[in-house]
Each structure stands twice: as structure tokens, then as C-alpha cells.
Structure 1
Amino acid sequence: MAKINYYTEEGLNRLKAELNDLKTKGRAAIAHAIAEARDKGDLSENAEYDAAKDAQGLHELKISKLEEVLANARLLDESSIDASQVSVLSKVKIKNKKTGAEVTYTLVSEEEADLKLGRISVGSPIGKGLLGKKVGDTAEITIPAGKIDFEIIDISR
């Protein structure tokens, strides 16, 4: 059973652009490398040719996997998401109850997660622990370093 993933419009467009790039520029570059290696003589003893053919196989595998991801991708409609509780695409302001530190995260799919931009995956320990919580709730989250209690301060879109 294929895993359904939910994406923002920006994330879905980025995946489509990457697939298009792999199919056009990527395939052309590999075909050029194979042709160059073929021109160098005997294929039975040509390591460059073998390497280029291996690269072609890996490239096609990457294309296949990306096509599968796109086939199972669903676009998130932000207008239909309940803003009263934490869900995918929620922007959540949380406070560490022990240290008092406040952090704001946006919950996104795994492929769109980027901690530098404040985007964490709904599949991460913190993301899983926040899902379904409401403002004022406390989320006890188990991370590799132990348990942390976070208070949900604000939820927005």
C-alpha cells in the first residue's frame, strides 16, 4: 500500500519541477556520458561505460520513486483545515515549561521539513506530540534526550 503524503502547493510544485529536471536535463546528461564512454573503444573493458550505465540505472530509479511520490501526493486545502487544533500546516507557538523558551514551528510533510525555516515534519517526535492539541494544552513529548513538556500558546495558519 502506497503512503499518501500531503503537500503545500509550493512543495508539490517543487517536486514536479525536480521530476521534470530529472527527465529532461538529467537524462540528456547521462545519455551524453554514455555516448562519450562508448566512443572510447571496447565496451567489454570500458569502466567509464559501465559507470555511466550504472548512473543511468540509479537516475531512472530516482525518477521512478519521485513519480510514485507524486502519484500518492495530495494537495492540502488550507481553507478546510480546522484552526482550533494543531494539524498539518498549523503554525504553532510553543513554550518549554522547564526553560520558558518559546519557539514557533509550522508542521509540514516530511519532504518539506526544514528546521532553519521553522518547518518541522508531522512525523517527527515533536510534530507527532503536537498534533490534535489546542491552545492551553500541554504536550508531553518524548525525544532522544528525555521528556519535555510544551505548552501550546498559539495556533495559526
Structure 2
Amino acid sequence: MNKVPMTVKGEKLLREELDRLLKRRPEISKAIAEARELGDLKENAEYHSAREEQGICEAQIRDIEYKLSVAQVIDVTKQPKSDKIIFGSTVTLIDVNDDSSVTYCIVGDDESDIKQNLISVNSPIARGLIGKLEGDEVSINTPGGLKEFEIDKVDYI
């Protein structure tokens, strides 16, 4: 089974979500029991709604448990000191064309969220940055076309 890289923060968030879902199990079971007492199950909307909620919750629990089972948690603060961009690095880039600045953190696939500037290690930008050094200029082929960046700052938080 292939391991999937994940940051310490990503693992913590998944475990918190798993705990929240596990605590909902008894509440959902109670709702099903209460709905059952209302009578005819064929036309009982509360019962069907509670069963549907139970199915969704159980699917989410299985999904999170699987993700945690294949996760290779990488703590960049415990990695040997390096000047190269690695998984978990936070990188500030300057667009060579318009001098705009953007900061990305390179994370696992399940943690990525472009709205929070968390990019997947498998994204074109991250693949173009891995192994590069602060001060390097890189050309990255993105879905929006060729982008040229200067690596302004690299942090390992």
C-alpha cells in the first residue's frame, strides 16, 4: 500500500473531524430510535432522514480512517535543515511579470485548499518548486500557461 504524505497539522485536523463524527454516532442512533417509535417506517420522513444521516456519517468515518491508515505524517520541523524546498515548506513567490507576491504551503493532496494557499505536493506549482532554493527563478507550466517566479522566501514551519 502506498503511503500518502500529510503534514502534522493535516493529521490533527483529520483526527479532530473523526472524533466529532464518532461522537455523533450515538446521537444519530437515538434519532433513529425516536423516529422508529413514531410508527409506519415507509412514510416516516424523520426515520429516513436519520438513516440517511447515519449513512453519510459512517461513510465519512470510513473515509477518514482510510486516509489516516495510509498517511505518512511528515513533520518538517524535525527534518534535517536544508535550504531546498521540500514537502511542508511555506514558500513566498514573486511573479516576475507583475511583481505580485503569493505565499503557498506545500501539503498533501487531502489537505490542499487554494483559498488558504495550501497547494498539493502533486500540483504543477509544487512540483516545479520542490528541490529549488531561495533566490532561484523558476518557470512553471500551469493550466493557465507558463508562469515565471522568483523564490523570495522559504520557511519550514
TM-score scaled to structure 1, two decimals? 0.83
Moved more, 91-100 or 62-71: 91-100
Counterpart in the other structure of 2:62? 64
Cα distance in 2 for partners of 1:46, 1:77 equals 50
Moved more, 115-124 or 97-106: 115-124
Counterpart in the other structure of 1:39? 37
Aligned-pair identity in percent equals 38
Q: 1:1-35: CA deviations, max 9, x gaps?
A: 4x5232332321221121111112x1122112212
Cα distance in 2 for partners of 1:28, 1:98 equals 56
1:87-102 correspondence to structure 2 within 5 Å: 87-102=86-101
Cα distance in 2 for partners of 1:133, 1:146 equals 20
Q: 1:106-133: CA deviations, max 9, x gaps?
A: 2122333344544332233322221222
Q: 1:41-68: CA deviations, max 9, x gaps?
A: 1123323322322221221111111100
Counterpart in the other structure of 1:77? 75
CA gap 1:44/1:93 in 2 versus in 1, 3 angstroms: closer
Secondary structure of 1:98's partner?
coil
TM-score scaled to structure 2, two decimals? 0.83
The equivalent position to 1:48 in structure 2, one of 46, 49, 55, is: 46
Moved more, 79-88 or 65-74: 79-88
1:144 equivalent in alignment to 2:143: yes
Secondary structure of 1:123's partner?
coil
8 Å Cα contact 1:83-1:155 kept in structure 2: no
CA gap 1:124/1:138 in 2 versus in 1, 3 angstroms: same
Cα distance in 2 for partners of 1:89, 1:72 equals 18
1:12-27 correspondence to structure 2 within 5 Å: 12-24=11-23, 26-27=24-25
- How far does residue 95 in structure 1 lie from its aligned partner after superposition? 1.5
1:8 equivalent in alignment to 2:7: yes
How many residues are paired up?
Answer: 155
Cα distance in 2 for partners of 1:155, 1:70 equals 28
CA gap 1:81/1:107 in 2 versus in 1, 3 angstroms: farther
What RMSD in Å do the two structures reach over aligned CA positions? Answer: 2.2
Counterpart in the other structure of 2:132? 133
**Equivalent position amino acid for 1:61 in 2:** A
Cα distance in 1 for partners of 2:80, 2:50 equals 47
Cα distance in 1 for partners of 2:55, 2:140 equals 42
Moved more, 114-123 or 143-152: 114-123
